[in-house]
Structure 1
Amino acid sequence: MSQALITALQNPALYPHPVEQFQVIETHISWVVLTGPFAYKLKKPVNFGFLDFTELSARQHFCKEELRLNQRLTQGLYLEVLPISGSVDAPQFGSDGPVIEYALKMRQFPQSQLLSEVQARGELSEAHIDALAKQIADFHGSTPAVAASHALCTPEAIVAPMRQNFEQIRPILSDAADLQQLEALEAWTEANCARLEPLLAARAANGSIRECHGDIHLGNATLLDDQVVLFDCIEFNEPFRLIDIASDAAFLAMDLEDRGLKAHAWRVVNAWLEHTGDYAALELLNFYKAYRALVRAKVALFSLAHQTDAVQKAVTLRQYRNYANLAESYSAIPSSFLAITHGVSAVGKSHVAMRLVEALGAVRLRSDVERKRLFGEQKDTDLGKLSAGIYTQDASAATYQRLHQLAEATLRAGFPVVIDATYLKHAQRDAAGQVAENCGAPFLILECHAPDEVIASWLEQRNAAGNDPSDATMDVVKAQHASREALSEQELLHSKRVDTHESASLDTLIARIRQRLPGV
């Protein structure tokens, strides 16, 4: 296949639909011919080691794989694989004669709707991030697990691509500082490979290795019919696709941080954790993010061999160093703390917790989410009852126990934690304080306040939205006010009042935490 075929395909008479205009997008492995209503993707006959499209049969196979794999995540975007017959200079779609090539037909969408373009325009919203996180989590919950007996389900197989990064990057570098940084990153990676081997083995055995996307970043997500859609998963290399779901999610977090969107990165991580419940992945998060950053660094370096312009080479090296520095940042020892909210339902605790997530890189643990993960939904007959169904004393005790177990594991993984729960009882707060003490982490009680009329309006808003896990009503709030146990003098020493209806109050709190813990 050659550029001549791509030129010949830019003939409106070949297509059974109107053609608005032709545009060709070229990457190092494919051409995409845009016609207006539809796009036709052809694979280049190239061999890069990690993919081999040199044979026509391979291009046919991987076109079919791309169709199959991406239809898992999209509806009506990936349509069919079409044979191309005729000649390079006079091609035609169909198999009336020897097939010379294959094309994957897709519904075309404006490139301006790619989330990378949306972000470049400053229009990427929290709603986009939340929708993307939910799609990824739902996909990870439904995509098939790889059998524990599979060759890729071993710690050695999981870390093999990480080691390959260093092998492939080192011969390209010549600067002593770059090589020294690479050696330090390799040593950190090897130390973590050894430390995390039992966890990697456990995840390989428990179904965490799945047929994933493999290339989740903003350039592979778009707005389609006003919905966020993830597309263009890796079809050409099983080891890049049959991976830990945590590694799949870590790619997006790294991509957002590379774009300077740390708040969005932590928002997407927290949403993914809440949807999947996979908090065990936190101990691997920085490990996987560093790997993903070095993949991007390596890909940047690969283009150096074809560049002759000194300025372009300098740009490429700068791009490599940005990714290498990002990878290095994941090896830093973080500052952690445990914060708990204290206040009645609908007082704004979840908003406070999310602000700490986005501003300080904390992990939010929500009692409403974990309670329902343990016990399911509240029955309609028990709605609004403070001590019935999933809100009995025993159920609440189990919920707080679960929150504290997750908090301890998260702190030991090196991340700050904020627990979003009412914490109306001394015993509940004492138990959380003990977790902080066990982990040697500072402990903070966020005493959340808002006027009752504000609480009532927030309750009305979230009930109308219908997307909040809380079952609280105003009657429940009144009962909580009556039964709450005020903070003791000792508790007041490490508590901060937050007037949740006043943004300045929360801004002041975040600034004070940063002053006390500059590493967060």
Structure 2
Amino acid sequence: MACSDELVRSLMRPGVLPGAEGEVALIETHISWVLLAGEHAWKLKKPLDLGFLDFSTPARRRAACEDELRLNRRTAPEIYQAVVAVRGTPAAPRVDDDGHEEAHAGEGAPIDWLVRMRRFDQSALFSSLLAEGRLAPALFDRLARHVAEFHAGAARARPGEGYGDAEAVMAPVRQNFAQVRARVDDAQMLALLDGVERWAEARFVELAPLFDARLAAGMVRECHGDLHLGNLIVLDDGPRLFDAIEFSAALRWIDVVADVAFLVMDLQVRGEAGLGWRFLNAWLERCGDYEGLALLPWYLSYRAMVRAKVAAIRSAQLADAARAEALAECRRYLGFAAGCARPGAPSLLIASGVSGAGKTSQSQPLLEARGLIRVRADVERKRLFGLAPEDASGSTPDAGLYTAEASARTYDRLAELARSVAAAGYPVLVDATFLKRAQRERFHGLAGALGIPFAILAFEAPPALLRERVRRRAAEGRDASEADEAVLAGQLAAREPLDAAEAAFALEIDTGGAPDWAVLLPRFDALCGSG
């Protein structure tokens, strides 16, 4: 890469890059250089062939630059501006930045290509915000909506196109193992790698039919492919994705669960599992892809292996302490990947209570602390009728979405989802009023049939506070619930209290004030461990 190193040094000289009259800063990754100059950032691909990417010729680098521009304009068009040619020589480069490539045709063939981007403040990255303790949890709710809407609008692969079938899914997984093994000589790390590989191969055999079914169902799409904290930024209008994978169609034409698994894994490895569960739940609520959870542990392991591979590649490019640090990072990701092979501990919980009791808002700390997957009746009811959570149905009590038949369909769907989430190995919290004893008994029976623990989270608050919450929520119009004070009054009159048998496996949660989860969590754990 001698010529490229020289080109980078030349581009960093004042005045070579357009608008770069002052100092030019450099950010280097294992596959590119990013030059920060004035109002712009300029990305130059490294002339590498790593198997999973090939930037070995100027033509390949140009194609990658053009793909990068197209892909990232889907989510961050204001950042990604143009692809520009570099002419001349590595020692004396000229950057064509006037938008008229044909006018420079007589000046010699380009020697390389740059992606011109709008420069942004690095402190706005999710990774920086987390390091500085400024990453607001609510950002992940907005991010989940952004990601779900991006996935909904992404192009979909079809069977036979070469993306998303079982063999296409497994190819990069096997490549990760081979590339880490080629760069690591530590016996303990290699033994760990062997164990992860055996599990991945065995689990692949079990999951192969599901991979193919997901492809047929349209769940393989042209995704981001590299969705981790370093590729998320807060712009004026909220959180956004950038720096999607441009160098490999196979690595971005993936299952949507594989896409979100990267961020969930990244947060868990960084000790922020709660934020990962928050994002995952918000994304699932928006898109409804609970059936995809069966793939999540396998994809979490795969994503950790991607980072292990990157760390191993970087270690081969470094020396001494820096190399040791990269190998330690590789070991950390290998350990996480190995942990994904452990069986899950599913349980079935129901959040019971009238509207305004806090079933959703006050259970959020529990979701994040214990990795629960929540399914909400208010959301799934609307989904059954083709509505988004925040859409107004125009229905009145006992009509439209709220007839007895619609309610029966909703509880049927909740039971179906609870079974699916539990089968994937995760604890599931079903969020509905569960006013009737028969409704609660049905889910207790389902837990028994599945052989998993069952508990009732009974949410209560004073009537005056319930009415105030319902009024406020209706006025704000941002929640899936459409209950008003009349609906609440009907619920209070019709509900059937827990009987003595139900009370034995119920956790009462008073939301008149903020629940003290430090006290409630041990009780919750005892209930879920008792069956």
Q: TM-score, normalised by structure 2?
A: 0.92
Name which of 363, 366, 371 aligns with 2:373.
Answer: 363
CA deviation after TM superposition for structure 1 residue 328, in Å = 1.4
The one-letter code of the counterpart of 1:121 is: E
Contact 2:18 2:95 (8 Å CA) reproduced: no
CA deviation after TM superposition for structure 1 residue 349, in Å = 0.4
Equivalent residue, structure 2, for 1:269:
280
Aligned ranges 1:344-383 → 2 under 5 Å: 344-377=354-387, 382-383=394-395
Aligned ranges 1:281-430 → 2 under 5 Å: 281-309=292-320, 311-377=321-387, 382-383=394-395, 385-430=396-441
Equivalent residue, structure 1, for 2:82:
80
Distance in 1 separating the partners of 2:446 and 2:417: 10
Other structure's SS at 2:225 match: coil
Equivalent residue, structure 2, for 1:511:
522
Distance in 2 separating the partners of 1:465 and 1:217: 32
Aligned ranges 1:464-479 → 2 under 5 Å: 464-479=475-490
Contact 2:509 2:515 (8 Å CA) reproduced: no
CA deviation after TM superposition for structure 1 residue 387, in Å = 1.2
Contact 2:264 2:276 (8 Å CA) reproduced: yes
- Of 88-97 and 355-364, the range deviating more from structure 2: 88-97
Contact 1:353 1:419 (8 Å CA) reproduced: no
2:270 is aligned with 1:255: no
Equivalent residue, structure 2, for 1:495:
506
| CA distance 1:19–1:400, shift in 2 (3 Å) | farther
Distance in 2 separating the partners of 1:414 and 1:519: 18
Distance in 2 separating the partners of 1:492 and 1:315: 53
Unpaired runs of at least 5, structure 1: none
The one-letter code of the counterpart of 1:353 is: S
Distance in 2 separating the partners of 1:458 and 1:405: 30
The one-letter code of the counterpart of 2:156 is: A
| CA distance 1:14–1:169, shift in 2 (3 Å) | closer
Other structure's SS at 2:429 match: strand
Cα deviation code 1:131-188 (max 9, x no counterpart)? 2211111111110111211122321111121122222223433333323222221221
The one-letter code of the counterpart of 2:238 is: Q
Cα deviation code 1:448-473 (max 9, x no counterpart)? 11112322332344344432111011
- Of 452-461 and 335-344, the range deviating more from structure 2: 452-461
Equivalent residue, structure 2, for 1:189:
200
Equivalent residue, structure 1, for 2:118:
107
Name which of 31, 45, 48 aligns with 2:47.
Answer: 45
Distance in 2 separating the partners of 1:380 and 1:87: 62
CA deviation after TM superposition for structure 1 residue 216, in Å = 0.4
Contact 1:24 1:32 (8 Å CA) reproduced: yes
- Of 324-333 and 215-224, the range deviating more from structure 2: 324-333
CA deviation after TM superposition for structure 1 residue 489, in Å = 2.1
CA deviation after TM superposition for structure 1 residue 379, in Å = 9.1
2:163 is aligned with 1:152: yes
Other structure's SS at 1:349 match: coil
Equivalent residue, structure 2, for 1:234:
245
Other structure's SS at 1:272 match: helix
Contact 2:264 2:280 (8 Å CA) reproduced: yes
The one-letter code of the counterpart of 1:102 is: W
Contact 2:154 2:222 (8 Å CA) reproduced: yes
Other structure's SS at 1:406 match: helix
The one-letter code of the counterpart of 1:183 is: D
Other structure's SS at 2:78 match: coil
Cα deviation code 1:370-429 (max 9, x no counterpart)? 00100145996945x321210111000100110011001111111101111100012211
2:23 is aligned with 1:31: no
Distance in 2 separating the partners of 1:123 and 1:498: 30
CA deviation after TM superposition for structure 1 residue 105, in Å = 1.0
CA deviation after TM superposition for structure 1 residue 12, in Å = 5.2
Other structure's SS at 1:475 match: helix
Distance in 2 separating the partners of 1:299 and 1:518: 39
Distance in 1 separating the partners of 2:57 and 2:319: 30
Distance in 2 separating the partners of 1:178 and 1:71: 40
Name which of 200, 204, 217 aligns with 1:206.
Answer: 217
CA deviation after TM superposition for structure 1 residue 19, in Å = 5.0
Contact 1:335 1:519 (8 Å CA) reproduced: no
Equivalent residue, structure 1, for 2:491:
480
| CA distance 1:168–1:79, shift in 2 (3 Å) | same
CA deviation after TM superposition for structure 1 residue 121, in Å = 0.5
Other structure's SS at 1:2 match: helix
Distance in 2 separating the partners of 1:374 and 1:74: 32
CA deviation after TM superposition for structure 1 residue 360, in Å = 0.6
CA deviation after TM superposition for structure 1 residue 33, in Å = 1.6
2:61 is aligned with 1:63: no
Distance in 2 separating the partners of 1:177 and 1:245: 33
Distance in 1 separating the partners of 2:126 and 2:463: 40
Distance in 1 separating the partners of 2:496 and 2:282: 31
Equivalent residue, structure 1, for 2:5:
3
CA deviation after TM superposition for structure 1 residue 209, in Å = 1.2
Contact 1:449 1:498 (8 Å CA) reproduced: yes
Distance in 2 separating the partners of 1:151 and 1:324: 29
Cα deviation code 1:50-75 (max 9, x no counterpart)? 21212111111111110001101113
Equivalent residue, structure 2, for 1:139:
150
Contact 2:453 2:530 (8 Å CA) reproduced: no
The one-letter code of the counterpart of 1:424 is: L
Name which of 447, 459, 482 aligns with 2:458.
Answer: 447
Distance in 2 separating the partners of 1:466 and 1:171: 56
**Matched-pair identity in %:** 42
| CA distance 1:77–1:150, shift in 2 (3 Å) | same
The one-letter code of the counterpart of 2:459 is: C
- Of 413-422 and 129-138, the range deviating more from structure 2: 129-138
Distance in 2 separating the partners of 1:187 and 1:5: 44
Distance in 2 separating the partners of 1:512 and 1:60: 59
Contact 1:40 1:104 (8 Å CA) reproduced: yes
Distance in 1 separating the partners of 2:493 and 2:331: 58
Other structure's SS at 2:497 match: coil
Contact 2:471 2:484 (8 Å CA) reproduced: no
CA deviation after TM superposition for structure 1 residue 15, in Å = 5.7
Name which of 453, 462, 466 aligns with 2:473.
Answer: 462
CA deviation after TM superposition for structure 1 residue 234, in Å = 0.5
Distance in 2 separating the partners of 1:300 and 1:121: 23
Other structure's SS at 2:111 match: strand
